[in-house]
Amino acid sequence: MDYHNKLVLAPMVRVGTLPFRLLAAEYGADITYGEEIIDHRLVKCERRLNEILGTIDFVAKGTKEVVFRTCRAERNMVVFQMGTADAIRALSAAQIVCKDVAAVDINMGCPKSFSLSGGMGAALLSKPELIHDILTTLRRNLDTTITCKIRLLASSQETVELARRIEKTGVSALAVHGRKVKDRPRDPANWNEIADVVASLSIPVIANGDVFEYEDFGRMKDATGASSVMVARGALWNTSIFSAKGKLPWDTVKKEYVRKCILWDNDIKSTKYTVKEMIIHHSCLELAEGKAVNKSDTYMDLAKLYGEEDYYHFITMNRP
């Protein structure tokens, strides 16, 4: 996979499922990360071809729960992001999906207590031996692009040291979120410290943090020297941020997202979460629209709310 000059959709739990990734790609994203999925969940999945939707589903054995859904159209751009604290389990999990995705990425930045208590996410940042073990195990045993995503450490020097160790494992690229574990999302991302990492590595660095307009992709690339730039919240609030032609109205993007969720039969909880995040940013959940989204239990409810009943009927009636 080529990591030069790419616009990258960041991993986002509950948001980065198939419809959202395809929407981002349609607007201009070159690489699209899926939401983080924990290795424990993936190892319990089996791969199934979903002939009705034309997708490849990874379904928890003995259940109907779709843990990860992808399709051929995104094969060369989708990155499967995994949460792990164990090299062998990470390998077993990666083996299940690696043929159907462009790359496997290890999350080393999540500061949530759920991740930290399992020794995953940002907990890995203080365990360089374990990082080495996980990444070299994946690199040696898989014929797949392997990458990882980190946050900044306490000092720029420590981040650079860790990044150099990661580079030695043979990963293809490193994504750096320009915040420290203790930083809140509203704290500004530190582009200078990302630049320090870029200056010390030969592999491509994907810079992440505080891209809110299309122009910010270029600004961040220039300021950090990074090969590519990744955006999370800017894409959640208006996915058309990837379009060089400028953003579309968020209402238009939201409706297109809902249509894609109907088309790909997305998990309704993920759809509602994502639509609500859009509404919180641009409007208010307490108004009629937000309340109606909250109350929606089915795609028919959402289709009615957004005037997409005809589309809903057309899609569902034409399924084989």
Active site residues: 110
Binding site for ligand FMN (CB under 6 A): 10-13, 15, 35-36, 81, 107, 109-110, 149, 177, 189, 208-211, 231-234, 236
Instruction: Label residue 143 exposed, middle or buried (CB < 10 Å: 0-12, 13-18, 19+).
Output: exposed
Query: Min. distance of Cβ 36 from ligand FMN in angstroms?
Result: 3
Inter-residue contact 261 to 303 (CB < 8 Å): no
The amino acid that residue 22 corresponds to is L
Q: Is the dihedral of CA 310, 315, 316, 319 positive or negative?
A: positive
Residue of 207, 188, 187, 189 whose CA lies nearest to 197: 207
**Residue 107's closest CA among 193, 10, 242, 229?**
10
- Name residue, tokens 């990425």: 105
Measured in degrees and rounded to the nearest 5, phi and psi for residue 4 equal -95, 130
Smallest gap from Cβ 298 to ligand FMN, in A, equals 24
In angstroms, give the least distance from the CB of 179 to ligand FMN.
7
Q: How far are the Cα atoms of 15, 108, 156, 185, 208 from residue 36, in angstroms, in the given order?
A: 10, 11, 26, 18, 16
What is the bridge-based pairing of β-strands 45-50 and 55-60?
A: antiparallel
Contact 178, 190 (CB under 8 A): yes
319 Cβ partners below 8 Å, 6+ apart?
A: 52, 53
What is residue 174's three-state secondary structure?
strand
Q: State which residue, 233 or 260, has the beta carbon closest to ligand FMN.
A: 233
Q: For ligand FMN, which is the closer residue by CB, 11 or 308?
A: 11
Min. distance of Cβ 235 from ligand FMN in angstroms?
7
Say if residue 224 is exposed, middle or buried (CB neighbours under 10 Å; 0-12, 13-18, 19+). buried
Question: Is the Cβ of residue 22 or residue 241 nearer to ligand FMN in the bound state?
Answer: 241
Question: For residue 110, what are the contacts with CB-CB under 8 A and spacing of at least 6?
Answer: 36, 83, 116, 120, 121, 122
For ligand FMN, the closer of residues 12 and 162 by Cβ is 12
Nearer to ligand FMN, 149 or 254 (CB): 149
User: Which of 35, 167 has the CB closer to ligand FMN?
Assistant: 35
